[in-house]
Structure 1
Amino acid sequence: MRVVSTPVAPRWAAGILFLAFALAFGPAPAAEPEQLDPERVVRSVVGIRAVVPPDSQSARSLGTEREGSGVVIDGSGLILTIGYTVMEASQIQVTAADGRSYPANMIAYDPVSGFGLLRAELGFQAPWLRLADSSAVKEGDTLLALSGGDGRGAAAVKLVSKREFAGYWEYLLDEALFTFPPIRAFNGAALVNREGRLVGIGSLLVMEAMEGRGLPGNMFVPISALEPILADLLAYGRRQEPARPWLGVTLREEMGRLMVEKVSPRSPAESAGLRPGDLIVGVGGQRFSGLADFYRKLWGLGPAGVVVPLEVMRGATLTPVPVPSADRVRFLRLNPTL
């Protein structure tokens, strides 16, 4: 089921939200200690527009004008979103449920989880959502996915899988949340449980929400990935632990090997001479069983700055390629106005 309205008034949307939950769960028991407040949930989800300078690294792959959603998570206008929507933005605007827009500043980005944090300005006010224990949700649970902005809407979805997720851009979650049916306005969308608490933040449209089933859906980053690092993000703008080594490659699994599809300009991989079409077959003298195993072995070599000894197949030739790794964040213009 999907219900969308553009633009949407909070009370009218609250009725849609109530209907979505009623269809998914049936009437809530009267003795339930905490019940959903539909209007509060609707008003906590905002739309986000970001403008990114064309010479930024991420502009090549993500574009210079981006739209998505975010969720207010405290009373001071702190908004949680998926970081790629606002990464390297020079201008950010958030749109509340009543259609009013406000400027916002990016205050943190975490490449490990993928989360980004904004703070809205100039009188922005909205209810905030409490954070859920995302480890408590189970496969088969019905949840609600909400998007803001021009794609504002609510959809009842089912959690069909909890499993690790390895992204081709040097990204790995030990456990991600996969839902069905897919929603189109997924980036930064809120995944909410029946008590109106935030379970996850939308990241991707995926072709296999259930492994081996070819069932399309969405991947959400679980909110449990935020809680251990939130204090660091608020105080320093990033987590306070040694950065992982970053190469700057886009990879694709191919028959137990990893093919280099793209090499980021000015990245460690480019400096070391890696090129599209290379097949990575070993790292640090070890073989690996897939993308996730490769990342774990790569990051196990040490913090950013460590030289990563790759074994690369070029045609029929096995070539050693040492790559002096780097801190990924240092290659991003997270404050383009400076």
Structure 2
Amino acid sequence: MDKTAFARSIVAVRATIPEDAFTAGSLGTLREGSGVVIRADGLVLTIGYLMVEAEEVWLMGQDGKVVAGHALAYDQESGFGLIQAMGPLNFPALVLGDSATAKRGDPVVVIDGHGQMQEAAIVAKQEFAGYWEYLLDEAIFTAPAHHSWGGAALIDQDGRLLGIGSLKLEMSRGGQSSDINMIVPINLLRPILDDLLTRGRVDKPPRPWLGAMAAESNGDVVVISVSPEGPAAQAGLQGGDVISEVRDEEVGGLADFYRQVWKSGPAGAEIPVRVLRNGRETWLRVKSADRDSFLKRPQLQ
């Protein structure tokens, strides 16, 4: 595999976000990472947290040329973001691979927008639950980790795009710890791409969102914090609360908690949750919301 040839399809992404944007406090107002050219007209796939609510986006190729971009679409469920170059990039588009056929042990390479490459291997394909109400049924994990992971391209031995870099995590095995990357599989893009291009979001009712950051501790779901403007805060949920039930069903971990919330109906559904706080149990009724409704809409530059 000629890795340097494929590196031309990965660009650096720099986005500026308004100070009053909903995600400015948690993700910052200046975000930098990478994106991958997936279409000859300059369509760039990246990880959504880099460009959500952006008022300015700039794309830079490895030839140093800088082109303005438009934050086209962001999908909450997969985490993917799309940016449309507003001028010619003149870089080849990467061919989308099949992440379903990738398996543990496969050699891969992770490449960022500055051409930095990390030869790696797939070390796991498994469920991933993120504290920000995010769940992948089967994420890809690679090691060694690329240390500029956000929006980086995961490429297989045939030069096909298998996924987009999202996180750097720590994996413990046999008493040893090592850094790994979590990659969003490219197959999640295929069924939603047309909707994202034509509508800016997937054509289905949005999931209910609570606005609660949570973690799993010994099987318990513990609230870390709540978004001040979100539904959970309005209902009285607090950091430190342990969520034990949703609609009279016991919660069996973070992923199970999310699935129970999401099957309760579309955004706007009322979600009864049973919480343990300071040794006492109580029920709260959280009127969920559409997370996208809190975000600034993309504006053409």
* In structure 2, distance between residues paired with 1:198 and 1:124: 19
Match of 1:272 in 2: 235
1:322 matches 2:289? no
Q: Aligned with 1:41: secondary structure?
A: helix
Q: Measure how far apart 1:155 and its partner are.
A: 1.3
**2:212 alignment partner AA:** V
* In structure 2, distance between residues paired with 1:76 and 1:243: 29
**1:54 alignment partner AA:** E
Compared CA separation, residues 331 and 173, structure 1 to 2 (3 A): same
Mark the runs of 5 or more structure 2 residues left unpaired by the alignment: none
* In structure 1, distance between residues paired with 2:178 and 2:246: 33
1:41 matches 2:41? no
- For the Cα contact (< 8 Å) 1:161–1:210, is it kept in 2? no
Compared CA separation, residues 52 and 210, structure 1 to 2 (3 A): farther
1:178-327 aligned within 5 A: 178-208=141-171, 214-327=177-290
**2:233 alignment partner AA:** E
Q: Aligned with 2:249: secondary structure?
A: coil
Match of 2:135 in 1: 172
List per-residue Cα deviations over 1:210-259 (Å, max 9, x = no partner). Answer: 79964320000000000011111111011111111100011011232222
List per-residue Cα deviations over 1:289-328 (Å, max 9, x = no partner). Answer: 1101111111111111100001011112111100000111
* In structure 2, distance between residues paired with 1:328 and 1:72: 28
The alignment's TM-score, normalised by the length of structure 1, stands at 0.86
Q: Measure how far apart 1:337 and its partner are.
A: 7.5
**2:96 alignment partner AA:** L
1:85 matches 2:27? no
How many residues get paired?
A: 301
Q: 1:60 aligns with which of 10, 13, 25?
A: 25
Compared CA separation, residues 211 and 165, structure 1 to 2 (3 A): farther
Q: Measure how far apart 1:37 and its partner are.
A: 4.7
Q: 1:104 aligns with which of 59, 65, 69?
A: 69
Match of 2:110 in 1: 145
Compared CA separation, residues 326 and 248, structure 1 to 2 (3 A): same
List per-residue Cα deviations over 1:93-152 (Å, max 9, x = no partner). Answer: 000110111110011100000000001112322110010011111100000100014xx3
**2:181 alignment partner AA:** N
* In structure 1, distance between residues paired with 2:180 and 2:127: 15
* In structure 2, distance between residues paired with 1:200 and 1:163: 14
Q: Aligned with 1:233: secondary structure?
A: helix
**1:231 alignment partner AA:** D
Match of 1:33 in 2: none
List per-residue Cα deviations over 1:4-60 (Å, max 9, x = no partner). Answer: xxxxxxxxxxxxxxxxxxxxxxxxxxxxxxxx4544411100000011111111111
* In structure 2, distance between residues paired with 1:156 and 1:38: 10
- For the Cα contact (< 8 Å) 1:78–1:118, is it kept in 2? yes
**Higher Rg:** 1
Identity of aligned residues (%): 46
- For the Cα contact (< 8 Å) 2:118–2:145, is it kept in 1? no
- Between Structure 1 and Structure 2, the one with more helix by share is 1
Q: Aligned with 2:250: secondary structure?
A: coil
Match of 1:154 in 2: 117
* In structure 2, distance between residues paired with 1:61 and 1:300: 27
Q: What's the RMSD between the two structures over aligned residues?
A: 1.7
Match of 1:23 in 2: none
Compared CA separation, residues 266 and 333, structure 1 to 2 (3 A): same
Q: Aligned with 1:84: secondary structure?
A: helix
* In structure 1, distance between residues paired with 2:217 and 2:100: 32
Q: Aligned with 1:138: secondary structure?
A: coil
Q: Aligned with 2:100: secondary structure?
A: helix
**2:54 alignment partner AA:** A
Compared CA separation, residues 49 and 195, structure 1 to 2 (3 A): same
* In structure 2, distance between residues paired with 1:92 and 1:209: 37
The alignment's TM-score, normalised by the length of structure 2, stands at 0.96
